[in-house]
Amino acid sequence: MENPVPKVAAIHDLSGYGRGSLTTVIEVLSTMGIQPCPLPTAILSTHTGGFNNYKFIDLTEQLPEYIDHWESLNIKFDAIYSGFLGSIDQIDIVSDFVKRFKYKDQYIIIDPVLGDNGNTYDTFDQKMIESMKKLIRKADLITPNITEAKFLLDKVNKNIDSDKQAKKWLEELSSFGPEMVVITSVPGFKTNQKTSVLAYHKKDGRFWKVNCDYIPANFPGTGDLFTSIMVGSLLTGDSLPMAIDRAVQFISMAVRTTHGYDFPEREGVLLERILDNLKLPVNGKSYEF
Ligand code: PXL
């Protein structure tokens, strides 16, 4: 039996407070009519961006038996979607998971969570970056932010400052293996009043760009929100540029909604206030070819 509701194996941490990772993934996918099946990589009291002394419970040792049980149930996932991994060994575990749960017409989405704003997150180092370069070979779609793209391409001191260079970076990332590459949070080439999302689809050789107004706010968890919307959109039949448009328009709305309140940025965007907008048709008016 094909799945009456698409199923996604969601390999992320569960951060109890602050929004992001599994709480965001579950809310977004469920709203979009998709069943999230969480494979928790770690449990944290909060995410690591802006909170101190958080409790971090690494679940690496528990994962093999959890996965063995899933395998015994013969579950067919329409997509496998990984994000924040709690240890370097988990990269091998995800790689093995993809091999064991491979299924026809399935999307493998790897969000290579490593860092943001030029830095790695607390729990990541160069070894993790090297392993992530191997893991992304397995993906159909990767969604690094600009900081992660720089780490993956060993270009930490370089910037994208023209369309020509943007294409080169996208093609280089795609040469690792993924059919679709999306880079988020790319600063505007000419003005810092804009940021862009850039994308490449290897199969048809087309490049896409969606510009967004820059808002001087930095909410943790928007990367998870972006990729989760991409996953939901692709699984419900959107094209790559339409999926990006949907994610960009929703996140712009989320950031604008949240920015209007006097509210701590570390708690993320006020997702629950606007979640239902994910069900609306997207107008596709923002993407450029
Ligand atoms: O959103 C990425 C992410 C996921 N999980 C944890 C994080 C972060 C980013 O800070 O701290 C625990």
Q: Express each pLDDT in 165-215 by its tens digit.
A: 999 999 999 999 999 999 999 999 887 778 999 999 999 999 999 998 877
Q: Is the pLDDT score of 285 beyond 90?
A: no
Please report the pLDDT score of residue 207 as a whole number: 97
Predicted TM-score of the model (pTM): 0.97
229 pLDDT tier (thresholds 50, 70, 90)? very high
* 69 Cα–ligand 1 center, Å: 27
Chain centroid to CA 117: 16
Q: Is the pLDDT score of 217 beyond 80?
A: no
> In whole angstroms, what is the distance from residue 112 CA to residue 103 CA?
22
Average pLDDT of every residue of the chain = 95
Nearest to 239 by CA among 191, 271, 199, 280: 199
11, 21, 52: residue to mutate for ligand 1 pocket, most atoms within 8 A of CB: 21
Average the pLDDT over 220-236 and give the result: 97
Asked if 183 contacts 198 with a C-beta cutoff of 8 angstroms, the reply is: yes
Residue nearest to atom 12 of ligand 1 (CA): 47
* 19 Cα–ligand 1 center, Å: 9
The percentage of the chain sitting over the pLDDT mark of 70, rounded to a whole number, equals: 100
Residue nearest to atom 8 of ligand 1 (CA): 47
Please report the pLDDT score of residue 287 as a whole number: 83
* 83 Cα–ligand 1 center, Å: 9
* 4 Cα–ligand 1 center, Å: 31
Q: Domain spans of the chain?
A: 7-288
pLDDT in tens, 78-123: 999 999 998 999 999 999 999 999 999 999 999 999 999 999 998 8
Rounded to 5°, the CA angle 176-136-123 comes to 130
Please report the pLDDT score of residue 116 as a whole number: 93
Q: Is the pLDDT score of 1 beyond 70?
A: no
* 190 Cα–ligand 1 center, Å: 30
Pocket of ligand 1 (CB under 6 A): 13, 15, 20-21, 44, 47-49, 84, 113, 121, 220-221, 223-224
Laid out side by side, the sheet with 35-46 consists of: 56-58, 35-46, 7-17, 79-82, 107-110, 141-142, 180-187, 194-201, 206-213, 287-288
Domain 7-288 grouped into CATH 1.10.3210.10: no
Asked if 234 contacts 80 with a C-beta cutoff of 8 angstroms, the reply is: no
Asked if 62 contacts 102 with a C-beta cutoff of 8 angstroms, the reply is: no
Distances (CA, A) of 50 to 13, 66, 126, 150, 258: 17, 31, 22, 23, 17
* 210 Cα–ligand 1 center, Å: 24
Chain centroid to CA 160: 20
Asked if 197 contacts 248 with a C-beta cutoff of 8 angstroms, the reply is: yes
